[in-house]
Structure formats: structure tokens, C-alpha cells
Amino acid sequence: MTTPWHDLAGDPHDLLPGFLLDALDPDESERFTGHLPSCAACRAELAALSDTISDLASASHVAPPSDVEDQLMASLFGPSVSGGTVDDDAEGIVPAVTPLASHRRRWMWPAAAAAAFILGAGLVATTGVLHVADTSGQVVADGEAQLILDVTSAPDAHFMPLDLPQGTAKLVVSSGMNMGAVMATDLPMPASGREYHVWTVMADGSMKSAATFTPDTAGHVSVMLHTGVNDAAAFMLTVEDPGAAHPTGEMLAEVQV
């Protein structure tokens, strides 16, 4: 039997077993992955041994607690479970998967996410293609609640009061997470059919829809911003018709970063 493994000192082929077993130091690992593209023998050997390793890996089966699956699905799909249409879903998937990469978020889905957040546990989401567990409303709320907790408890959380005529609201941002949230108490309901709308104002003056919400009956709000915060020059709170693409309504507050 031929072997591509040589015993020469420092030979990258020598690193293959350690690579397969995740037993390399980072620099060794880098050296091996650098070597791999140019070495068909190593690639073939890796492929040939991969089943052996995955047999070894799969020898012990232990069913994880069922809430692990729930948490996983919520963390991946929570904010965009609510899309309601196939298009929203397709647009929303990538940003929803990587909550920390909020600069990749498109601002067409915050309205849907906020709507789901408001509708809460009663919402059953079907995307037209996929059926999502009927707890999806709760999942959305839990996923968002967890993110809000993460932002507000971030070591670099920065709280900025929003000066409102009625009620108390604040914006909290974490530059480490590149995320922000709005929290309010005693916020009055907007005029019938209207909603609060947060806009992220960029340095060049352009604006991105960051969140929409209406308070609950007690006037409480806690909602994530669906834009990044690190490139923002300011945030603005207005009242708009649902789904507004640009701020046109009454401006309630603005806070400079």
C-alpha cells in the first residue's frame, strides 16, 4: 500500500493525521490547509479517511434535549420567521441567519419582524414553501428578547434617552455587536393605523428603516434595530403609515451618535 505520509521533518504531509483529528496547533493547521490545494495525494487521503473519522465521531448517540432544537431554530430563523410571503422569506434568510452581521440586513423585512414581535405567540407563520413550528410567534419574541438582552448587557452598551413629549424611551447601542435596540415605557399608541418608525441616519444623510413598532397596551416597547449601528450618524423616531420606505411623518425625537 502506498502512503502519501512521509516522515521528513517539517513535511506538511506529516500533519494529515493531526489535521483529521483536530490535533494541530493553529500554525500547523494553517500550514496544512495551505499545503492541501497543491497536493492531490493529501486530498485523496483526507477523503478516504473521512468516513473512518466520522464513524469514530458517530459512535455515541445521545439525543439532545428538545429545547436545544427550539433554541437553535429561534436563533437562526427567529427574526424572519414571520415573513408571510415567499419573497420576504427569501430576502430575509441571509440576514436572519447571521444576526451579528447586521450590516448585511436588508431593511425591507423589519416591518414584518416587528409585526411578528407585536403579534406575539399567536402567530402561525407559513412561508408558502415551509411550515414552521406553530410556536413560531413565541420563537420570534424569544429570539428578539434574547438579542435585546444581549445588547443591553453588552459591556459597551451605550444608552441614549429619546426626548419624547409623552412616555420614556431610550436607544441602546453596542458598537461591539454593531446592534441597537429601542426600549420605551408609557408610550402612547400612535394614531389609528399608524406605527412608530425608527430610522438610522447615515453620515451621508441617507436613512435606513431600522425598526417599526407599536407599544403594547401598557405602553411598553422593546425592539431590536435591524440595521447596524456603527456607521450611523444619528437615529430618528417618527410616526408613519405601516411599511413606509422613507420618513414622511411627524418626527418625535432625534439622537446624534
Partner 1 sequence: MRPDPAPEPADDLSSPEELLAACASGERAAFQALYREFSAAAYGLALRVLRDEHLAQDALQEAFTQVWTDAGRFDPESGSARAWIMTLVHRRAVDRVRRDQADRQRGRAWGTGQLDVDHDSVAEIVELRAEHRRVRSALAALTPLQRQALELAYHRGMTQAQIADHLGIPLGTAKTRLRDALQRLRLEMEGTS
Asked if 109 and 83 touch (Cβ cutoff 8 Å), the reply is yes
Residue type, 78: G
Q: Of the listed pieces 3-11, 146-154, 176-184, 189-197, which binds partner 1 according to CB under 8 A?
A: 3-11
The nearest distance, CB 14 to partner 1, in angstroms, is 6
Residues 86-105 within binding reach of partner 1 (CB under 8 A): 90, 93-94, 97-98
User: How far are the Cα atoms of 11, 58, 92, 94, 212 from residue 196, in angstroms, in the given order?
Assistant: 63, 51, 21, 26, 5
Is residue 63 within the footprint of partner 1 (CB under 8 A)?
A: yes
Long-range CB contacts (within 8 A, 24+) of 91-99: 95/226, 99/75, 99/147, 99/179
- Per CB under 8 A, the list member of 2, 37, 64, 165 interacting with partner 1 is 64
**Pick from 181, 131, 132: which is nearest to 154 by CA?**
181
Q: Which is nearer to partner 1, 2 or 192 (CB)?
A: 2
Separation of alpha carbons 34 and 41, rounded Å:
14
- Per CB under 8 A, the list member of 37, 38, 57, 192 interacting with partner 1 is 57
Q: Which is nearer to partner 1, 18 or 249 (CB)?
A: 18
Separation of alpha carbons 158 and 134, rounded Å:
36
Residues 102-141 within binding reach of partner 1 (CB under 8 A): 124, 129-134
| Site residues (vs partner 1, CB under 8 A) | 3, 5, 7, 9, 14, 16-18, 20-25, 28, 43, 46-65, 68-69, 71-73, 75-77, 90, 93-94, 97-98, 124, 129-134
